[in-house]
Structure 1
């Protein structure tokens, strides 16, 4: 499965790092990081079926609902080199609390999310008058795991307001691999940030 955000995350993670993947799902990214970067990885998710698939792959995983304050508080400060929150932040009830916990327990955090402000959702709302759907947001409004729709600018402002340093950022369009940062809020379907506190 080709996912440009996965490719970017793999590029940013240093070989042999200690990695926590929050919202790891079936472990596709974590498995790839272990195979390609020889990381020491732990996945966290709340879905038992997904975690069963992780276990069959030989991945180290923890079942925890980080949105309810479980799991992350048990790790000492800077336990990990990287904590990853990819395609998960927008599905959390308390995204800021989880993000700040991840910044506490790791040296760097990688955050990936769909950009609600890119052209497809804008056109969808304007011309159809309905909640948008796109490759990055493929669910109907009543069946989506996403509860916080945010934009690239929203995340940049959150980082500024919370004193979070953006080390790197990369933006991906629906039909092209890379989007210039100046046009990211308008043209990027997905964004990936490398941050630290």
Structure 2
């Protein structure tokens, strides 16, 4: 099974033998990859019960929980990495969730869809309606995304909060795109953060 492009980037950059908390782990595909390929001790939190069941069926340690409330239950620095892939924009308080990630993990990977991608901009400009694109495939009234953000929004947020960016990757489809024009050209972003 092939990982989604942002998950592949994360998997490639997690150190072997690390302790990882995957928040919003879905069916556990990334956790299974990290366990099998890198000997990682991976734990997960997922809000969707059917995804929790699928992850457990893979032999993974996953609990049903909510990133907005349940990260507070973990001790400080209990993981080498906390991962939040394609979930930040679905949380009620992304700023607090990000703080919690960096509290429980020495480092945090965060990936999200870029709402400033040129297709999104074109859809709003020419169609006048909330976009439905490859990276944002669900109509406005049923999307789990409640906090759309752009790469530049995220960069400003981490800069204001003195969060260190240790690495960043920008994807257009499955391919990496340059950092200089990422806010316009990238559909998804992946950041590696630390305090």
TM > 0.5 = yes
- Look up the match of 2:17: 16
The answer as to 2:140 corresponding to 1:141 is yes
Partner Cα distance (1:148, 1:30) in 2 = 26
Give, in angstroms, the shift of residue 66 of structure 1. Answer: 2.3
- Look up the match of 1:131: 130
SS in 2 for 1:182: coil
- Look up the match of 1:185: 183
- Normalised TM-score (structure 2): 0.96
Q: How many residues align?
A: 194
Give, in angstroms, the shift of residue 2 of structure 1. Answer: 4.7
Query: Mapping of 1:1-197 within 5 angstroms?
Result: 1-67=2-68, 69-70=69-70, 72-174=71-173, 177-197=175-195
Partner Cα distance (2:44, 2:156) in 1 = 28
Judged with a 3 Å threshold, the aligned counterparts in structure 2 of structure 1 residues 17 and 2 are, in CA distance, closer, same or farther, namely closer
Between 28-37 and 138-147, the greater mean CA deviation after superposition: 28-37
- Normalised TM-score (structure 1): 0.95
Between 85-94 and 4-13, the greater mean CA deviation after superposition: 4-13
SS in 2 for 1:107: strand
Question: Any idea what the Cα deviations from partners look like across 1:121-155, whole Å, max 9, x if unmatched?
Answer: 01111111111122211101111010000000000
Which consecutive aligned stretches of 4+ in structure 1 deviate over 6 angstroms post-superposition?
Answer: none
* Alpha-carbon contact 2:151-2:182 (below 8 Å) kept: yes
* Alpha-carbon contact 2:3-2:29 (below 8 Å) kept: no
* Alpha-carbon contact 2:11-2:34 (below 8 Å) kept: yes
